[in-house]
Amino acid sequence: MGEWGQRIRRLVLAAMIIALVVTSMSLTASPRVRVIRVSSWIASAVSPISFSLAWIGNKVGRGVSTLANLYAVEQENRILRAKLVRYNAMRLELSEVLADNGQLRSLLGLKQALGGWKLAPASVIARSPSTWFDTVVVDRGTSSGVRPGQAVIAPQGVVGRVVGASASTATVMLILDPRSGAGAIDARSQAAGVVSGANPVSGLLTFKLFSHRPNIDSGDAVVTSGYSQYYPKGLLIGQVTRVAKSQYGLTETATVRPSVDFNNLARVMIVLSHPGQAAVPPVFGGGRS
């Protein structure tokens, strides 16, 4: 009887643990501000050590990659010399284009739009401890005006959005995350859809298009549509690399290579506020949509 009682007690305990784990997982399957706030607090508490380790890691990583690249450098040097000749010719052409660009920018009044943007620069101090989720911790928090929902950008384009913040740190869900989801349009054809993370290893994004027969091609630039509450309109997301029909052939899905190099993401800018209907400064990929 005693042995049976103990067995039943163990079974009940195991069932309770399983139920607790399943409930917890189902409740936190999607990012929740309150839960992420707890993780932000923890990240905030350990941020001085994280920052130091990230700095050391950065130096170590650079040292390792320098050694690894030593053999490739000579070959690369030869290729670069050949390219240099071509680039010198292109430089003359480019100076002409730059002059035209400057005129166009002033014509469009984009300089004025740039003035209305309030950005907070931040450094990445840690990444998610789990391989499956693409989040990073940055060294700016609510004391700098950072709030959940704000977009995070880099000079190359969209990085992600803030999902949780403590006083001195914030958790940013990268656009690579499977649950990111950003409203996007093809800059050329204006075909609309949703971009989300598809594969953390390849670092590619999936662009699910709303239209049955969208006009979309490889090489097209994909920018934020402005339909989502998080991202301002016109931020560069990436470039289409492949277009394919979905499983049942009803919709088309494009594969997008993000414009931001997430492996070398060290500094980002958090969009604290931006003028409602203003176009995005061209340096962030705007001016095309």
Site residues, other proteins (CB under 8 A): 20-22, 24-29, 31, 35-36, 38-40, 42-43, 46, 49-54, 56-58, 60-61, 64, 125-135, 137, 163-164, 171, 176, 178-179, 198-203, 262-263
Burial (CB < 10 A; 0-12, 13-18, 19+), residue 75, is exposed
Q: Find the shortest distance in angstroms from Cβ 246 to other proteins.
A: 13
Q: Find the shortest distance in angstroms from Cβ 36 to other proteins.
A: 4
Q: How far apart are CA 149 and CA 272, in angstroms?
A: 10
Q: Find the shortest distance in angstroms from Cβ 241 to other proteins.
A: 16
User: Do residues 254 and 240 make contact, with C-beta atoms less than 8 angstroms apart?
Assistant: yes
Q: Find the shortest distance in angstroms from Cβ 8 to other proteins.
A: 18
Q: Find the shortest distance in angstroms from Cβ 140 to other proteins.
A: 17
Select 192 or 198, whichever has its Cβ closest to other proteins. 198
DSSP string, 196-256: EEEETTTTEEEEEESSSS----TT-EEEE-S-SSSSPTT-EEEEEEEEEE-TTSSSEEEEE
Select 236 or 265, whichever has its Cβ closest to other proteins. 265
Select 173 or 209, whichever has its Cβ closest to other proteins. 173
Q: Find the shortest distance in angstroms from Cβ 13 to other proteins.
A: 11
Select 171 or 224, whichever has its Cβ closest to other proteins. 171
User: Do residues 258 and 238 make contact, with C-beta atoms less than 8 angstroms apart?
Assistant: yes
Q: Find the shortest distance in angstroms from Cβ 145 to other proteins.
A: 21
Alpha helices in the chain (DSSP H): 2-27, 33-45, 47-108, 110-116
Can you give the length of the chain in residues?
A: 289
Select 123 or 144, whichever has its Cβ closest to other proteins. 123
The dihedral built from the CA positions of residue 173, 177, 178 and 184, taken in this order, carries a sign that is: positive
Map residue 206 onto helix, strand or coil.
strand
Three-class SS of 15-41: HHHHHHHHHHHHHCCCCCHHHHHHHHH
Select 29 or 79, whichever has its Cβ closest to other proteins. 29
Element (H, E) at 223: strand 221-224
Select 28 or 143, whichever has its Cβ closest to other proteins. 28
